[in-house]
Chains A and B, each alone.
Chain A
Amino acid sequence: MIYKVSYVVLGGLPGIIRNQTKPPTVGEQIEIGGHLCEVVEIVELLPPQGDYAYLHATCRPVEVSSAE
């Protein structure tokens, strides 16, 4: 199965569209344009067709703590 996922980031950062062979999961962290984001919600955007599933994932930016 191929998962075509629309990731939208809360707070105005740009999202990403990408295909992946595993579905996204809540709590998973992904890198979007150099920013680390955490998936907070996943919904089906369109009904599956053939080998494709169409998902929408909402993410929030992960604040990386400084070790300085």
Chain B
Amino acid sequence: MDIPLETLRSTDLFVGLSNDEITKLVERGEYRTYRAGETILHAGETGRNLYVILSGQVAVECEGDEALCQTPIVYLGAGQSFGEMAALDAGPRSANVRCVSHEAVLLILPGVLLRRLCDEEGSIGCRLLYNIARDLAFKLRHRNLTGGGG
């Protein structure tokens, strides 16, 4: 799959990285297209991959009582990342994530890459972690604005 560099540059994860650095990272990941209704992540499962949405929309849904979880927590669109919690702490996935647009194109990066980059290429690793932290802060602000409901 040939994704234009400007599309990759418009994702939060790659803010502050050079074109060469972005290309190097993307070469270590893979692209995948999901169809409407397809589940991308299941809550509770293990996995450390980090997902970047290049196009389309996904729904982040809680796990548990079906009656309580009929409404997604939030939708995420182009440029957003998810799966970062497990990528960082190796814990179980905290939510279900499902494709809700006709299709969604994602870049999937191995979570171990983050740690490796911090050890071997500190400036890139530091920038990625900063971008992830900033994105998590934005998600928290969004959640606060919704009163915790979406």
Using a CB–CB distance below 8 Å, which chain A residues touch chain B? Answer: 2, 4, 6, 8-9, 12-21, 32-34, 45-46, 50-52, 54, 56
| B80 near A17: Cβ-Cβ < 8 Å | yes
- Measured between beta carbons, the chain B residues less than 8 angstroms from A15 are 74-75, 142, 145-146, 150
B116 at the A interface (CB under 8 A): no
Residue of A nearest to B137 (CB): A46
Q: Top 4 nearest A-B pairs by Cβ distance?
A: A19-B79, A18-B77, A14-B150, A16-B75
Q: Can you sample 22 A-B contacts with CB below 8 Å?
A: A4-B79, A6-B142, A8-B145, A9-B150, A13-B71, A14-B75, A14-B146, A14-B150, A15-B146, A16-B57, A17-B139, A18-B57, A18-B76, A18-B80, A20-B79, A21-B10, A32-B57, A33-B59, A46-B138, A46-B141, A54-B138, A56-B142
| A18 near B78: Cβ-Cβ < 8 Å | yes
| B74 near A16: Cβ-Cβ < 8 Å | yes
User: Contact partner of A16 among B11, B12, B76, CB < 8 A?
Assistant: B76
User: Contact partner of B149 among A4, A12, A46, CB < 8 A?
Assistant: A12
B100 at the A interface (CB under 8 A): yes
Known: A4-B138, A16-B76. 10 other contacts (CB 8 A): A8-B150, A15-B150, A17-B74, A17-B77, A18-B57, A21-B10, A33-B57, A33-B59, A45-B141, A50-B16
- Measured between beta carbons, the chain A residues less than 8 angstroms from B138 are 4, 6, 17, 45-46, 54
User: Contact partner of B12 among A12, A13, A19, A45, CB < 8 A?
Assistant: A19
| B12 near A14: Cβ-Cβ < 8 Å | no
B72 at the A interface (CB under 8 A): yes
B112 at the A interface (CB under 8 A): no
Q: How far is the CA of A13 from the CA of B100 in the complex (A)?
A: 15
| A14 near B71: Cβ-Cβ < 8 Å | yes
How far apart are B127's CB and chain A's nearest CB, in angstroms?
12
